[in-house]
Every structure is written in structure tokens, then in C-alpha cells.
Structure 1
């Protein structure tokens, strides 16, 4: 990585040793902060390294925390964006590895909602969560399924029982994805725009979980017949909503 200036600290990725940090000089403060965040100096390589086996997410959070501390001290920091790329998910022999990509943070997407005015824009954000390859819902289902397989691998009665429980949770996550798809489709055809005098979203109190009202059939029907940029007004809507199957369809994650 060639930089137009020399930063006080630079974070990068070593092909075999993981995340590394290099410093501009031997100032004690640089060494102190890096050691505080579990980096250790390698005299042979003249760089700081995290302990072997540090999980990817832990490494990313560590770099972010150290960077904030350096910047709060008025120091300049550079970081290789490849630090954000997670390693591929292990697979069985003769099965192509699943290449992972850095997904959008749910926190960042929630922040985006505060700036949006149109229903269709909210639908676009929700679609990112539901993306077949990089969406948070599919990632969560795959994570729970993998946790279930880990428990089953213990080959004990309690492990098999917990594995089955986690498989059930993964099934519920898939059902949650189906419900969110319904909501995303409803939002995409709603012509509603937030009034200019509406209070900021942060000022609207969130209902308690057990008080969240269900979406009525009338509301769904009204959204279905409404026109939007994505659905011309002259398209005829179905006179009645078709009953939804209670059986969860197979997850798209199974076919990647």
C-alpha cells in the first residue's frame, strides 16, 4: 500500500500472520496503545501483530478501537481496506468455498431510515437486509444452522437436543425472512411520503414488543392496489390476497 504521506500508524494484513500494525517511530505512546489493544511487537518483522487465531470480527473491532484512540490523540492513521474482508467459510472437500463479503451494518442501515422520506426508499433499505447473498437475515440463518451442527458434532444427548433446538430457531429465522419480504413488497408499492411537519424519527417512541399491532388485511389490500414508481397504477390488483403457506420454503442459502 503506497501512501502519499507517512502516517503515525498504519494497519494492514499479512498474508500468513493476519492483521499487522506498523509505526512511524519508537514513540512510547504508539507502543502503549497498540499493546493495550493486544498487539505485540515482532522484532523479526518490525511490525505489531495480534495473537495467532484472533477471530476476524475481533480483529476488525480492535483496529477500529485503536484507530479511534490514536485519532483522539491527534495522530494520523492509515488502514488497508482488506482488513474488512472476512475469510472464506470452510466447506466439505470437493465443495467450492463460500466467498464472504463485508455486509452492510444493521446499525448503519437503521441510521439510514432516519433520513428517508418515501416508502419506496425504506423498501430499498429493507431489500439489502434480505439480499440472497449478503443480507443479514440469510447470514443469521446460516450462522444458527452452523451453531446447530457444532452442537450435534459433540455426539452427546444434550448436544443433539440443543442442535435440534437451534435447527428450529433457524427455521423461525427463515419464516422471519418471509414476513420481511412481505413487508418489503408492501412498502415498495405504497405511495406514501412522510409529511414535512412529521416529528423526527428519533422522537417517535417505539412500542413495547408485546404491543406491536399486527398488519391488517385491509392495510395490505390498500398497499397492494396503490400506485408507485415501481408499480404502475393501471396494473390490476388481485381481488383477494392468496392465503400464505405456513411451510417455510427452502432457504436460498442452501443453494449458493
Structure 2
């Protein structure tokens, strides 16, 4: 794609202030669209900035949405690809931070599957998801572990219990990664090629998923007061339910 030499709008990254937008001239429509997407004009810097503390993913989605709106109106837009680079994850002193890279889109990888014909090619897509350092499975496991640590930091019975539950979920994610790795290995050695007369993948019905009943507010309230080995004994259980405790045995954790 050839970017315009003099775009109507340009998005970039300010080293201290985050994502910024600059416009070629004072056009009311450009200002209106940027303000609609929460950019505010800085007269001192002569650029538009997102509010301080805007999360990285929110900033990326905002730039994408504003860009589409500008292009639909016939404006030219240039975007610095460094906007896609997430900030480093905080680490303890002495621990090297992971190198930041643009996140992989599972939606895009799913779209790739529709164009593939060979088993080995599907295995390569799965390998991207399972990559030890930047794969979606490992990232999800780390996210859940971090959420568990956040809950435990509350230093309350409920926080510690929820943290333990989330760590069990992280173990299940690790187990899922192991099973996907088995499938990836099988695909990599399969010589199979999709027949030329096979129907498009979009026409092949997907298997029915098990529908998980929605959790109502009442059910959440009952769960909040239900007895548990981690909860103080003086908290009563909901009258409709007998006290009980079920704990899933965690699966072996992958080494990341």
C-alpha cells in the first residue's frame, strides 16, 4: 500500500504523551471526527491527543475507527505502525522485560484457514498461536495469572479465593495449549491436501457448541455468600443452597 505524501490526517506516537493526530489544515470535519473519537486538541503542540492513561488496546481501536471514518469520507490517512506496539509488561527489578511485538489477531488467523489447502500450512498457523513468547495461548495464560495476582493483592478472603480460582483456570489454559500442540504436531506430519472439489470452508457447518447458561445477578449474589473452605465460618450460606465445595484439580503447568 502506498501512503500519501501529504495526508489529510496523520496518526503517530508521542514519546511522552502517547498516540497523537495531526491534520493538514483547519477543516471542521477533521476536528469533529477526532473529537468524536475522544481526541482533544493541544494548542501548545498543535496536535490532537487521547486522554492521559488511555489503555493501549483502546488507543489502537480508536485510531482504527477514526481512520475508517476518515477514509469513508474520502480523506487520506497515514498511520505510524509503531502505534501497534504495546507497552512493555512491568517486571520485577532484575528481570528482563519481554520484547513488545504487535499482537496477533485470532480473527485474522481464522480467516487464513479459509485459504489454506495443505495440512502443513494449518500446522504453521497453529504454531503462531502456540509460540512460547508471543502466542495467544501463552499470552492468555499470563493474563489470567496476572488477574489472579491482582485479586490476591486485595488480601481479603474473597480476593484470595478468586485468585485461586483464576490460577486453576490458567492451568486449564496451559492444558489446552498442550492439546493444541499435539494437534499441531499431527497436522505437521500429515501429507493430506484438501481436494479441489471440496466445498468452501465457510459452507461447512461448525459443530454445535455446548451452551453455558447465563449467570444471573441472583446467582452471583448467592455465590457471593455461599460457604467455602476459604471463607470465614461466620458468613452464612444462601438458604436455597446447601454448603458445598467443589475444586477442580489443576492440570500440569507448561513452562513458559
Following the alignment from structure 2 to structure 1, what is the Cα–Cα distance between the partners of residues 4 and 43? Answer: 26
Q: Name structure 2 gaps, 5 residues minimum.
A: 212-248
TM-score w.r.t. structure 2 length?
A: 0.82
Once the two structures are superposed, residues 19-57 of structure 1 have per-residue CA deviations (whole angstroms, 9 ceiling, x without a partner) of 000000110000000000000000000000000000000
Report matched runs for 1:167-182 at 5 Å. 167-182=167-182
Tell me if the contact between 1:89 and 1:99 (Cα under 8 Å) persists in the aligned partners.
no
Instruction: State the 1:102 CA deviation.
Output: 1.1
Instruction: State the 1:93 CA deviation.
Output: 1.8
Tell me if the contact between 1:123 and 1:188 (Cα under 8 Å) persists in the aligned partners.
yes
Task: Look up the match of 2:255.
Answer: 252
Q: Name structure 1 gaps, 5 residues minimum.
A: 212-245
The answer to whether the aligner puts 1:161 opposite 2:161 as a matched pair is yes
Paired residue total: 217
SS at match of 1:48: strand
Task: Look up the match of 1:240.
Answer: none
Task: Look up the match of 1:217.
Answer: none
RMSD of aligned alpha carbons: 1.6
Tell me if the contact between 1:89 and 1:97 (Cα under 8 Å) persists in the aligned partners.
yes
Report matched runs for 1:3-152 at 5 Å. 5-152=5-152
Tell me if the contact between 2:175 and 2:251 (Cα under 8 Å) persists in the aligned partners.
yes
Instruction: State the 1:4 CA deviation.
Output: 6.5
Following the alignment from structure 1 to structure 2, what is the Cα–Cα distance between the partners of residues 112 and 168? Answer: 32
Q: Which runs of 4 or more aligned residues in structure 1 lie more than 3 Å from their structure 2 counterparts after TM superposition?
A: 246-250
Task: Look up the match of 2:204.
Answer: 204
Tell me if the contact between 1:119 and 1:192 (Cα under 8 Å) persists in the aligned partners.
yes
Instruction: State the 1:190 CA deviation.
Output: 1.1
